[in-house]
Structure 1
Amino acid sequence: MNFHTREVKLSRLCNEALSEPLDEAEKAAMIAAAAQKVEELFDILCIDHENDHNTRETPMRVAKMYVEEILEGRYTAPPRITEFDNAQAYDQLIVTGPIELRSMCAHHLMPIYGAAYIGILPAADGKIIGLSKYDRIVEHFASRLQIQEELVKQIGQYIVDMTKPRGLAVRISAVHMCKTQRGVRASRRSRMVNTYYWGDMAENAEMKREFLDECVALDRGNAE
């Protein structure tokens, strides 16, 4: 089976999902085709993947890693959201983090790793979602070829669309190995930090300060 045989409305952006998730047969076909291409790359790079015991199975391992792990969020459906009634009409800031973040830079195919922090201003008459779902959402959108400036917005927009909070903030602090392992070879302590706000969080300076203070406190507590 060729995974390209069915009609797929393929986004031109590498960090967006396919129009429909791949089924298991399509995933298997994609992995097999990708493994062949990795073998071709190894041939070009003069790496023996047939006789060298270290690299004999590497093309297949790499193909499976990309389809089933690194780019999983491109080929699978978003995580299901478990909602709960906001029985006590809670409408104050909730902050969760640090949420482990692992992604892959779209420019050089090098790892990005760090943490995400999410601040939610729930609507008093709305819903709240299970805390672990924020981790699942971060993992889903990070499992694609990404640019951090776009990743922070994808995570937040999905939460806004699905839960309709009064306000939302998403902050990412991450190391980019395309900067630490190549090029300038910066210190591994060198990070990129960016934050994006929606709704009341975008308009209220005091709420922004509270969110950022909580991020610092959570980060400090995680380091202790």
Structure 2
Amino acid sequence: MSRANSLPNSARLGNHAVEGYLDKTERADMRAAAAKKIEELFDILQIDHQNDHNTRDTPARVAKMFVEELLHGRYNPPPKITEFDNATSYDQLIVTGPIDVRSTCAHHLMPIYGVAFIGVLPSPEGKIIGLSKYDRIIQHFAARLQIQEELVKQIEQHIVETTNPRGLAVRISAVHMCKTHRGVRASHASRMVNSSFYGEFATNASYKAEFIQECTSLERY
């Protein structure tokens, strides 16, 4: 049994990282075990994965997709953050976006896709992180089974813990295919929008309003 299979239940929450992460060998073991289970599921659903040329290798492909792509953020550490000195003591609002969001709904295993925006009020005495790192952080936490309400908080908490800004805002606007491709079968124009505010964004209404205005402006392009 691999270490991944022997972890306590507390380490298996779908949108939390696996304790200690997994190395290449452990991920390969997980892929092989998952492929066997997907074969069993296909057998139950009466899908011939042995003779059908379309589905013959599907269990292995799906297992690889989950371990190495859709759930990548659970098994691998977050990206390293490149910091730069705030040489001019810049303390005004920085907004970046839209940043692509691709995740998987924890309720029905269907895609979530949309865009995110990050607003930062840097500390004059602190550091400024490389702009592309915001994209990588969002990609990392989206690569898990998620619900959007928790995704914004995970992104916020990680950036706050690693950069200690005066204020931080995270906003996501996304389509949930568990709503568009099943159940009510809503239009793809139907989105969920939510935000999380920390520090001066949470206490200063003008900063919050400016951030939302910038998000609206950026989303038009």
The residue aligned with 1:80 is: 80
Shift of 1:13: 2.3
For residues 60 and 171 of structure 1, the distance between their equivalents in structure 2, rounded to whole angstroms, comes to: 35
Q: 1:68 to 1:206 in 2, by over 3 A?
A: same
TM-score w.r.t. the length of structure 1 is: 0.96
Percent same amino acid among aligned pairs?
A: 68
CA contact (8 A) 2:112 2:175 kept: yes
How many residues are treated as equivalent by the alignment?
A: 221
1:85-129: CA deviation from partner (whole Å, max 9, x where unpaired): 000000000000000000000000000000000000000000000
For residues 83 and 19 of structure 2, the distance between their equivalents in structure 1, rounded to whole angstroms, comes to: 25
Q: Does 1:208 align with 2:201?
A: no
Counterpart AA for 1:149: E
The residue aligned with 2:50 is: 50
For residues 178 and 49 of structure 2, the distance between their equivalents in structure 1, rounded to whole angstroms, comes to: 26
The residue aligned with 1:134 is: 134
CA contact (8 A) 1:105 1:111 kept: yes
**CA RMSD between the two structures:** 1.2
Counterpart AA for 1:219: E
Q: Does 1:97 align with 2:90?
A: no
Q: Does 1:165 align with 2:152?
A: no
For residues 143 and 124 of structure 1, the distance between their equivalents in structure 2, rounded to whole angstroms, comes to: 33
Counterpart AA for 1:184: V
Counterpart AA for 1:211: F
TM-score w.r.t. the length of structure 2 is: 0.97
Alignment of 1:127-206 (within 5 A): 127-206=127-206
Q: 1:41 to 1:7 in 2, by over 3 A?
A: closer
CA contact (8 A) 1:9 1:19 kept: no
Q: Does 1:218 align with 2:215?
A: no
The residue aligned with 1:63 is: 63
For residues 13 and 4 of structure 1, the distance between their equivalents in structure 2, rounded to whole angstroms, comes to: 13
